Amino acid sequence: LCHTALAEYTKFPEGFTFGVATAAHQIEGGWNENGKGENVWDHLSHNRPELIADGSSGDVATDSYHRYREDVEELAYLGVDFYRMSFSWARLLPNGRIDNVNADGVRYYNELLDALAAHNIEPLVTLFHWDLPQALQDLGGWANPHMIDYFRDYADFCYKTFGGKIKSWITFNEPYEICEDAYGDILKAPAVNSHGVGNYLCSDTLLKAHAEAYHLYNETYKPVQDGKVMISINSIWYEPKDPSNAEQVVLAETANQFKFGWFAHPIFSQQGGYPAVMIENVARNSAAEGLKRSRLTQFDEYWTARIKGTSDFLGINHYTTHLVTGAGVDPGAKSPSWLKDVGAVVSTDVGTDSASAWLRVVPSGFANLLRWCKRSYSDPPIYITENGYSDRGELMDYKRISYFNDYLSEILNVINDDGVRVLGYTAWTLMDNFEWRAGFSERFGLYHVNITDPALPRTAKLSADYFKQLIANRELPKENKYKEPAITKV
Ligand code: GBH
C-alpha cells in the first residue's frame, strides 16, 4: 500500500467547507465554576481516576472556559469556515432539567458565539458530546426512556436561547460510543459495563431522543431560524482480511451494519429500523441465552416512521479501518455483548500506526466507507464531522500531515470518481486536549498545548500551517513541502 503517490485530484469543489472540531468537556475546564453542575466525566475522573491513563481529568483541560478568545484567534489564523464545538449540558442546566438555568453558562456561550461571529466563523454546535449531567445519570442516564423528554427539553432550551446565532446543529456525537463504550463497557463514562443489555437499552432511547429533537426543530424553530440538524456517526470501517474469502466478506458487511448501521439504518435507510442482520443475530443469541425477549428491542411502526429521515445531512466521524479475520466469537468478547452478537473475530493488524492502539492509518478504507454510505443510504449529502490522527504531541507532526493529506485525497477521489456528495470536512482537533480515558497521553491537535505550564500555552504545529494553506487554496498542496525530511545515514 503506497499512499505517497501524487494525488490525482487536488482541487476541492466550489462551496466545499472546512472546519475544525472540539468538544466542551475536552477543552473547557472550569468544571465547578460559576454554577456548572457535575457531569458523568467529572464523576468518573474524580471517583475512578485509575480509569484515566495519566490520572488526569477535565477539571482544567485546556481552560477554554477562560481562554476561549485565544481559541477564536487560532481559528481565525487557520481561516476555517466553521467551528464545530459542543455545549456542556451541565454548564447550562446544572441538574439537567430546565427548571434550573445557569445564567453564567448562557453568558459563556453567547460570548463565544459572538467572538466567532466577529471573525465570520460559522458555529456548528453539538448538543451532546458525552458529558451527561450526573443528576440525569443518577436516574439511569440513556438507559432510562424518560431521557427522551429531558433531551428534548434541553434541545428546546438551546434552540430558543442560541438559535438566532446557530444555523447548524448536531444532536449526538457518536451514538455507538455513547451506547456501547459507556453502557456496554467501561471505555467511556459512566462505564456502566452492562454488556449486551445496557448498550441496546441506550440505543432505543437515544434514537428516539434524537428524532424528537429533530422534529422539534423542524416544526417550531426551522420556520424562523432556518437552520439544519444532523447526527454524527462514528465508523470503524471493517474490511475482510482476505477479500477473496466469501465468509469474511459477508462478516465484514455484518460488522459494518452492527457498527455504523446500528444508528445509520434507522435514520438513513429506506426501510428504517435496525439492520436485519442485527435483529436476527441478537434475537438468536438472546434465545440461546434463555431470554424471553431479544436484548435488542425493535421499534414499532410509529417509532420506525418517526425516526426515519431525521437528519438533514449524514455526519460521519472517521478515523480508521479494522479487519474481520473470521467467524465466531472474538477472544475479547464478553458474554453477552455487542461483539459476540456481531459474531466475527476482528483485528487491528492493518495499515500503519498512531499513538492510539485503535487508530490505524488506512486511507483506502475511508473511500470504501464513503462509497458504501452512498449505496446503502440513497446518496445522502455528507459532512465529515471528524477526522484526525494521534501522536505524542510533536510540533513537526509530519505523520499527521500525511494522514490528513491521504484521507483528504480519498475524499476527492470519491467525489470525482463516484459522485459521493461530501460537502465539508472537519479536522479533529483544534488543539491537544483531554482525550477521555487516554487523558493527555494521546494528542490529536493542530496546536500543541503545554499542560505542565499553568498558562497552558498553545503553539501551532506544522499541521496547523498545512491546514491553513489547504483552506486558503482550497486545494491539496501539489508538491508536498510538508514531507518528513529523509534521514541521511552517515
Ligand atoms: C472521537 O471518537 C471523539 O468524538 C472525540 O471526542 C475524540 O477525542 C476523538 O475521536 C479521538 O479519539 O482504545 O479500546 O478505548 C472516535 C471514536 C471511540 C474510537 C473510542 C476509539 C477507543 C477504544 N473512538 N475508541 S479503546
Task: Name the residue with the closest Cα to ligand 1, atom 7.
Answer: 435
> Which runs of E-coded beta strand occur in 271-414?
314-327, 344-347, 382-386
Task: Name the residue with the closest Cα to ligand 1, atom 19.
Answer: 358
Q: Is the CB of 330 under 6 A from ligand 1?
A: no
Query: How confident is the model over 434-451, as a mean pLDDT?
Result: 98
What ipTM was estimated for this complex? 0.90
Catalytic machinery residues? 174, 386
**In the structure, what pLDDT confidence band is assigned to residue 224 with cuts at 50, 70 and 90?**
very high
Q: Is the dihedral of CA 176, 211, 365, 131 positive or negative?
A: negative
Q: What percent of the chain has pLDDT over 90?
A: 96
Q: How far apart are CA 143 and CA 137, in angstroms?
A: 9
- At 115 the pLDDT is 99
The string of pLDDT tens digits covering residues 168-210 is 999 999 999 999 999 999 999 999 999 999 999 999 999 999 9
Q: How far apart are CA 148 and CA 131, in angstroms?
A: 16
- Model confidence at 72: pLDDT above 70: yes
By CB atoms closer than 10 A (0-12, 13-18, 19+), residue 144 is middle
Give the nearest ligand 1 atom to 436 CA.
8
Cell readout for 304 is: 420506525
Give the nearest ligand 1 atom to 187 CA.
15
Average pLDDT, the chain: 97
Strand, coil or helix: what is 202? helix
- Model confidence at 380: pLDDT above 70: yes
If you measure from the C-alpha of residue 216 to the centroid of ligand 1, how many angstroms do you get, rounded to a whole number? 29
Q: Is the CB of 357 under 6 A from ligand 1?
A: yes
Q: Is the CB of 332 under 6 A from ligand 1?
A: no
Taking residue 108's Cβ as centre, other Cβ atoms within 10 Å add up to 24
- Model confidence at 418: pLDDT above 60: yes
Q: Is the CB of 180 under 6 A from ligand 1?
A: no
Task: Name the residue with the closest Cα to ligand 1, atom 17.
Answer: 234
- Model confidence at 126: pLDDT above 90: yes
Task: Name the residue with the closest Cα to ligand 1, atom 13.
Answer: 358
- Model confidence at 381: pLDDT above 50: yes
- Model confidence at 335: pLDDT above 50: yes
- At 1 the pLDDT is 41
**In the structure, what pLDDT confidence band is assigned to residue 490 with cuts at 50, 70 and 90?**
low
- Model confidence at 428: pLDDT above 60: yes
**In the structure, what pLDDT confidence band is assigned to residue 460 with cuts at 50, 70 and 90?**
very high
Q: Is the CB of 329 under 6 A from ligand 1?
A: no
Cell readout for 233 is: 456517526
If you measure from the C-alpha of residue 111 to the centroid of ligand 1, how many angstroms do you get, rounded to a whole number? 29
Task: Name the residue with the closest Cα to ligand 1, atom 23.
Answer: 358
Q: What percent of the chain has pLDDT over 70?
A: 97
The string of pLDDT tens digits covering residues 102-117 is 999 999 999 999 999 9
Of 214, 261, 274, 267, the C-alpha closest to 234 is 261
Alpha helix positions (H), 222-310: 222-225, 246-256, 262-268, 276-288, 301-307
If you measure from the C-alpha of residue 365 to the centroid of ligand 1, how many angstroms do you get, rounded to a whole number? 17
The string of pLDDT tens digits covering residues 23-36 is 999 999 999 999 99
Question: Is residue 77 a contact partner of residue 45, using CB atoms and an 8 Å limit?
Answer: no
- At 481 the pLDDT is 78
- Model confidence at 427: pLDDT above 90: yes
If you measure from the C-alpha of residue 53 to the centroid of ligand 1, how many angstroms do you get, rounded to a whole number? 14
- At 488 the pLDDT is 62
- At 164 the pLDDT is 98
Of 446, 413, 387, the C-alpha closest to 232 is 387
* Residues written for the chain: 490
- At 2 the pLDDT is 43
- Model confidence at 51: pLDDT above 80: yes
